[in-house]
Amino acid sequence: MREVDYIIVGDGYAALFFAHQLIKAGKEFVLYSEGKKGASQVSAGIVNPVVLKKFTTFWLAQEQIDALKDTLTEIATYTGKNYLVEESIHRIFHDEKERELWLKKAQTEDLSPFLNIDFKSLDKVHNPFGAGKVNQSARLDVDRFFADMLSYLKEQGHLIEKRFDYSKLDAAKSTYAALVYRSIVFCEGMGVVNNPYFAQIPVVPNKGHHLKVILSTPLNNSYTLKKKHFLFPMNSESYYYGGTYDRHQLEDGTDDSATEELVKGLEELYPHAFEVEEVNFGFRPTVKDRRPILGSNILYPNLYVFNGLGARGILNGNYFAKTLVNHIEAGVPLPDEVNLKRFQP
Ligand SMILES: Cc1cc2nc3c(=O)[nH]c(=O)nc-3n(C[C@H](O)[C@H](O)[C@H](O)COP(=O)(O)OP(=O)(O)OC[C@H]3O[C@@H](n4cnc5c(N)ncnc54)[C@H](O)[C@@H]3O)c2cc1C
């Protein structure tokens, strides 16, 4: 039997940011990846401190941004690359009223660090009311982050490229197949519905699609543009446009209605020809109160769940991976806001 401190189940943001905490702490661990592209690998990678519909911010936004920068600097020491793309979001205003609202919100204590009031007029896209820049916003280079992190984990002997089979788990003895573990952290995203120990946690799937497109006239800069959806360059040829939100269509596979919504949105923003190269989709694990879920199984307290990252997988995943490792390793209580216990009678 091989002894490990941790088994991580999953390979999305929750799992990889948790793995980073274990690397930092010098723990012995393995990570199970079933090799499917989950929500994280189809995500846009946007790091954004502002809710762009109403121009509000959210709980711990500044702390989460600062913590992400620290983590990405730490990860760069072993993968050799910092995956943060320092290109900010430019929110294209729908009308004059939105500009005014932005100006008003920019004067509040919460929003003044984030809402830039030097409005811009952008070339090549339809923006008669101009655009406001979100300070401190950025993007993660999603493809490189996952490719490099997974190959680093493989090189170091942490990665097990197999589906975690719940029937091989003996929770009473803390063994899984030929492994003896101290703790398991389940980071399965919507895959949690198949987990007999945590299937009941209240995560709700929200399906999101994005398009990979080729623009006939490339944009002049690498900003992230946001009107209905996000548009930004992924590489020298392709652009990312997305994502949609849908709580009702939950079948596996792409939905024509989502593709149509995206094509229409892009046509409104970009008045030139474009070609759709790919349509991708994933399921965001969302929670009614918009807070992640961290906690352990009542019968087997060394089985933990880390889920419910919602639409902010990067910021939530990074920040709360540290919260969870501090809880498990140092007994630091979990904040009530994210504790699984908030849903238990
Ligand atoms: C279109 C779209 C755009 C998005 N854009 C952004 C964005 O710009 N910024 C942002 O912060 N967030 C974004 N999100 C949200 C973000 O993607 C999610 O919050 C995040 O991916 C959730 O991460 P996770 O690790 O919990 O789950 P997932 O990414 O779903 O990862 C779970 C993984 O676990 C694996 N797994 C499950 N069960 C098992 C098992 N038994 N054995 C082995 N492996 C298993 C699955 O295959 C899966 O790959 C977006 C989501 C979508 C759909």
What 3-state DSSP class applies to 87? coil
Nearest atom within ligand 1 for CA of residue 195 = 41
106 is a domain residue: no
User: Do 183 and 223 belong together in one domain?
Assistant: no
Kindly report the CATH number assigned to the domain that includes residue 228. Answer: 3.30.9.10
Residues 211 and 277 in one domain: yes
207 closest CA partner among 262, 166, 162: 262
Cα of 33 from ligand 1 centre, angstroms: 12
Q: In 3D, which of 83, 89, 82, 93 has the Cα closest to residue 46?
A: 89
Instruction: Calculate the alpha carbon distances from 58 to 79, 129, 157, 313 in Å.
Output: 31, 26, 38, 14
Which residue lies with its CA nearest to atom 41 of ligand 1?
A: 164
Domain boundary at 251, 269, 286, which? 286
Residues 194 and 297 both lie in one domain: yes
pLDDT for 345 equals 80
The answer to whether the CB of 269 falls within 8 A of the CB of 126 is yes
Closest C-alpha to ligand 1, atom 4: 43
Percent above pLDDT 90 for the chain = 99
The reply to whether 14 falls in a domain is: yes
Q: Give yes or no: residues 267 and 330 share one domain.
A: no
Write down the pLDDT at residue 106.
98
CATH of the domain at 38: 3.50.50.60
Q: What is the mean pLDDT of the chain?
A: 97
133 belongs to a structural domain: no
Report the nearest atom of ligand 1 relative to the CA of 244: 1
Q: Does one domain contain both 271 and 326?
A: no
Q: Ligand 1, atom 48: nearest CA belongs to which residue?
A: 38
The residues, ordered by sequence, that sit 6+ positions from 278 with a Cβ below 8 Å of its Cβ are 211, 212
Structure tokens at 193: 């519905």
CB atoms within 10 A of CB 148: 18
Q: What atom in ligand 1 is closest to the CA of residue 314?
A: 11
Cα of 38 from ligand 1 centre, angstroms: 5
* 245 Cα–ligand 1 center, Å: 14
Closest atom of ligand 1 to CA, residue 44: 8
Give yes or no: residues 153 and 272 share one domain: no
Query: Can you give the pLDDT at residue 213?
Result: 98
State the first-to-last Cα distance of the chain, in angstroms, to the nearest integer. 38
Is residue 76 in a domain? no
Residue 173: burial class (beta carbons within 10 Å; 0-12, 13-18, 19+): exposed
Peptide bond connecting 243 to the previous residue in cis, omega within 30 degrees of 0: yes
Taking the centre of ligand 1 as the mean of its atom positions, its distance from the CA of residue 314, in whole angstroms, is 10
Give the position, in ligand 1's atom list, of the atom nearest the Cα of 32: 43
Q: Which domain holds residue 31?
A: 2-45+143-202+288-343
pLDDT of residue 265 exceeding 90, the answer is yes
Question: Which residue's CA lies nearest to atom 21 of ligand 1?
Answer: 40
Decide if 105 is inside a domain.
no
User: Which residue's alpha carbon is nearest to atom 45 within ligand 1?
Assistant: 10
pLDDT band at 129 (very low <50, low <70, confident <90, very high): very high
**Domain for residue 320, yes or no?**
yes
How many domains are contained in the chain?
A: 2
Ligand 1 centre and the CA of 243: distance in Å?
14
Identify whether residues 187 and 237 lie together within a single domain.
no
Instruction: Report how far residue 292's alpha carbon sits from residue 302's, in angstroms, rounded to the nearest whole number.
Output: 19
pLDDT one-digit tens code per residue, 140-188: 999 999 999 999 999 999 999 999 999 999 999 999 999 999 999 999 9
C-beta separation of 87 from 45 below 8 A: no
Atom of ligand 1 nearest to the CA of 190: 30
Residue that has been written with the tokens 């943001």 in this structure? 13
End residue of a domain, out of 238, 268, 286: 286
* pLDDT tens column, 216-249: 999 999 999 999 999 999 999 999 999 999 999 9
Strands 2-9 and 29-32: parallel
Distance 103 CA to ligand 1 centre (A): 34
Identify the domain boundary among 265, 286, 307: 286
192 and 221 both lie in a single domain: no
Question: Atom 26 in ligand 1: which residue has the minimum CA distance?
Answer: 189
Instruction: Identify whether residues 147 and 190 lie together within a single domain.
Output: yes
Ligand 1 pocket, CB under 6 A: 9-15, 32-34, 36, 38-40, 42-46, 163-164, 187-189, 191, 208, 210, 242-243, 282, 284-285, 307, 309-315, 317
Helix (H) or strand (E) holding 212: strand 204-215
Contact 251, 188 (CB under 8 A): no
Residue whose Cα lies nearest atom 50 of ligand 1: it is 43
The answer to whether position 177 is within a domain reads yes
Residues 198 and 230 in one domain: no
CA–CA distance, 109 with 102 (Å, rounded to integer): 13
* pLDDT above 90 for 89: yes
Shared domain check, 326 and 198: yes
Dump pLDDT digits (tens) for 269-299. 999 999 999 999 999 999 999 999 999 999 9
Among the atoms of ligand 1, which is closest to the Cα of residue 13?
25
Site to substitute for ligand 1 among 8, 34, 43, most atoms within 8 A of C-beta: 43
**Is residue 179 domain-resident?**
yes
CA–CA separation, 185 and 51 (whole Å): 30
Unique residue bearing structure tokens 């896209």 = 125
Q: Check if the beta carbon of residue 94 is closer than 8 Å to that of residue 133.
A: no
Judge if 218 and 282 occupy the same domain.
yes
Nearest to 307 by CA among 20, 10, 14, 8: 14
